[in-house]
Amino acid sequence: MLDSTVTSRTQAVLDQLNTALEQGDVAAAAGLFAADSYWRDLIALTWNLKTVENPEGVADMLSHQLAHTRPGNFQIQKGEIPAEEGGVITAWITFETGVGRGWGLMRLRDDRIWTLLTALQELKGHEESRGVRRPMGAEHGARKNRTTWKEQREHDAATLGYETQPYTVIIGGGQGGIALGARLRQLGVPTIVLDKHDRPGDQWRSRYKSLCLHDPIWYDHLPYIKFPDNWPVFTPKDKVGDWLEMYTRVMELNYWTRSEVEKASFDEASGTWTVEVNRDGEKVTLHPTQLVLATGMSGKANMPKFPGMEDFKGTIQHSSQHKGPDDWAGKKVVVIGSNNSAHDICAALWEADADVTMVQRSSTHIVRSDTLMDIGLGGLYSEQALANGITTEKADMIFASLPYKIMHEFQIPLYDKMRERDADFYAGLEKAGFQLDWGDDGSGLFMKYLRRGSGYYIDVGASQLIIDGEVKLAHGNIDHFEEDAVVLTDGTRLPADLVVLATGFGSMNGWAADLISKEVADKVGKVWGLGSATTKDPGPWEGEQRNMWKPTQQENLWFHGGNLHQSRHYSLYLALQLKARMEGIETPVYGLQQVNHLS
């Protein structure tokens, strides 16, 4: 009879798991999992981002990977005490593999594993130089011809890409490329980050002037350096830009500005890429082994074409080209779209005394910022969460530990609370004619983001302008342009001096098509989405984000991006995969994603 304490019950399951793994008994290990269970692995056993379901899925994964990765030594994390609530025991755990160390989160139901998250944190013998392993910096003593830190940095910057080749090239120097570049720098992986802008952070500075982060600060830290305690809750775009520029310097990134990739190709014989770069007018050819597209989910603008655009006498811009409202006071502006950018742009134009009409093409999910922070994020990312001992790292792991297959079940009650709390607000929007939705299954913003990356607005004030009629509302799609107007498919004519197409962005494999080839883009397939068979996320079920932060069907090609939270958290796993390959560590991939959609 097992001891009744939660800790001993938890350790008993871990001991059984250790014994089964050590003995190579796949059936015994799988038998520790509940009939309805999930094991999410972040490269520790699978060298992939992979979720397996139920004992059968666990058995299949272990039968392929156990001999290669040799997992074991599963323990309750030191200083942590498992907790039981509602019949579920939650425990922080640590473990090892043959080549690395990791931690994770386990949930038990009836002393069987319900959910298990295993995440590799470091490679044995290749640990980051941090904490007790931090570098000395100064070399005490006296010797002739000493090389200073500044001289070494200048030498590295001058020779990498010319006299020596980087192991990894990252295309795109926004928060994703910068976060990954910092991880790789700390792991000793020679890396160059390429960006076409004049300065790091210009990706943010160049956007419309009212743009700010809609996610709160606790959610948005970069690796290694957290924002200071006096940083604003919602960061203005130019302040984000300045932080990113500072970060690239402090983290000593090899960051090439004014560098645009003209072409990239892969040589299967050598296993290396040829990357042709225009570096501020200089033609440079790089030959990295690994190529990462960190061009961003919001990087490749979806710029539709309509009849009559060439006859329009006004200005047509994609939302990514819109600089702000200053030139449009007293002018008529039509904004096509009703998601985040469309709302932000409409509000800023209204403030500048433009006559603004928003054209809603399909229903939109809206959640008020204060409500989202309180109900949706407060338990993990807030001052209160920190006071409760939930660090950013723990919050990331808790969020990652919820399998995508059942995550919506946890989200639906939260959004039900939001809908109830802000009932008058939503009634006002509906009275104004705004078409609302809560996702196909009522699971709200996070699932919409994970499934399709669009279809929502975090309200920071624009919704009230729609409720009050200050921003006018129309519905439908564009049929054609006339010299001074946009005409919708129902015949509605909207006079305009400026038309802003807030029509979103295409799949990241569009960048692969442009920079490499359509054949490679099709070989990789669609990037982003879960295969949930919901709107704009066609099945079959994938179980993880398509092609993000993990091996793809194109050898040595990777995709990295997402919001600041994802850039921070998942950059670790991508960096460890690249480091392992550089060091010649065996990385047998389990469950390489199949291609079900080309774009």
pLDDT at 1 over 60: no
Distance CA 570, CA 552 (A): 16
Residue-level pLDDT at 301: 83
Cis omega (within 30 of 0) on the bond before 540?
yes
Average pLDDT over the chain reads 95
Q: pLDDT digits over 73-101, tens only?
A: 999 999 999 999 999 999 999 999 999 99
Closest CA to 452 of 407, 405, 507: 507
Closest CA to 228 of 214, 211, 242: 242
Q: pLDDT digits over 376-401, tens only?
A: 999 999 999 999 999 999 999 999 99
Residue-level pLDDT at 231: 95
Residue-level pLDDT at 302: 87
Closest CA to 237 of 261, 200, 204, 201: 204
pLDDT at 2 over 50: no
Residue-level pLDDT at 4: 62
Residue-level pLDDT at 366: 98
Distance CA 158, CA 53 (A): 50
Here the tokens at position 382 are: 């807030």
Rounded to a whole number of angstroms, the distance between the first and last alpha carbons of the chain is: 55
Here the tokens at position 55 are: 């004992």
Closest CA to 194 of 310, 117, 70, 277: 277
> Does residue 105 sit in helix, strand or coil?
strand
Q: pLDDT digits over 199-237, tens only?
A: 999 988 988 778 888 889 999 999 999 999 999 999 999
CB 431 within 8 A of CB 144: no
Query: Maximum CA pair distance of the chain?
Result: 83
565's CB contacts (< 8 A; 6+ apart) are 215, 219, 220, 396
| Range 265-286 burial, b when 16+ CB lie within 10 A, else e | ebeeeeebbebebeeeeeebeb
Q: pLDDT digits over 475-497, tens only?
A: 999 999 999 999 999 999 999 99
Residue-level pLDDT at 3: 46
Q: How confident is the model at residue 505 (pLDDT cuts 50, 70, 90)?
A: confident
Distance CA 291, CA 314 (A): 41
Main-chain dihedrals φ then ψ at residue 118, nearest 5 degrees: -120, 125
Give me the mean pLDDT over the 439-451 stretch. 96
CB 233 within 8 A of CB 207: no
Residue-level pLDDT at 297: 67
Give me the mean pLDDT over the 405-423 stretch. 97
Residue-level pLDDT at 599: 67
Give me the mean pLDDT over the 148-153 stretch. 90
Q: pLDDT digits over 186-195, tens only?
A: 999 999 999 9
What percent of the chain shows pLDDT beyond 70?
A: 99
pLDDT at 561 over 70: yes
Strands 259-267 and 355-360: unpaired
Residue-level pLDDT at 376: 93
Which secondary-structure segment (H or E) carries 447?
helix 444-451
Q: pLDDT digits over 102-135, tens only?
A: 999 999 999 999 999 999 999 999 999 988 899 8
Annotate 19-79 with three-state secondary structure: HHHHCCCHHHHHCCEEEEEEEEEECCCCCCEEEEEHHHHHHHHHHHHHHHHCCEEEEECCC
Give me the mean pLDDT over the 415-428 stretch. 98
Burial class of residue 419, CB neighbours in 10 A (0-12, 13-18, 19+)? middle
Cross-strand partners of 118? 41, 104
Residue-level pLDDT at 299: 60
Residue-level pLDDT at 173: 96
Distance CA 152, CA 18 (A): 47
pLDDT at 138 over 80: no
pLDDT at 584 over 70: yes
Residue-level pLDDT at 142: 84
Give me the mean pLDDT over the 361-369 stretch. 97
Distance CA 93, CA 569 (A): 18
Q: pLDDT digits over 287-319, tens only?
A: 999 999 998 766 678 899 999 999 999 999 999
Here the tokens at position 412 are: 């639906």
**Chain centroid offset of residue 360 CA:** 27
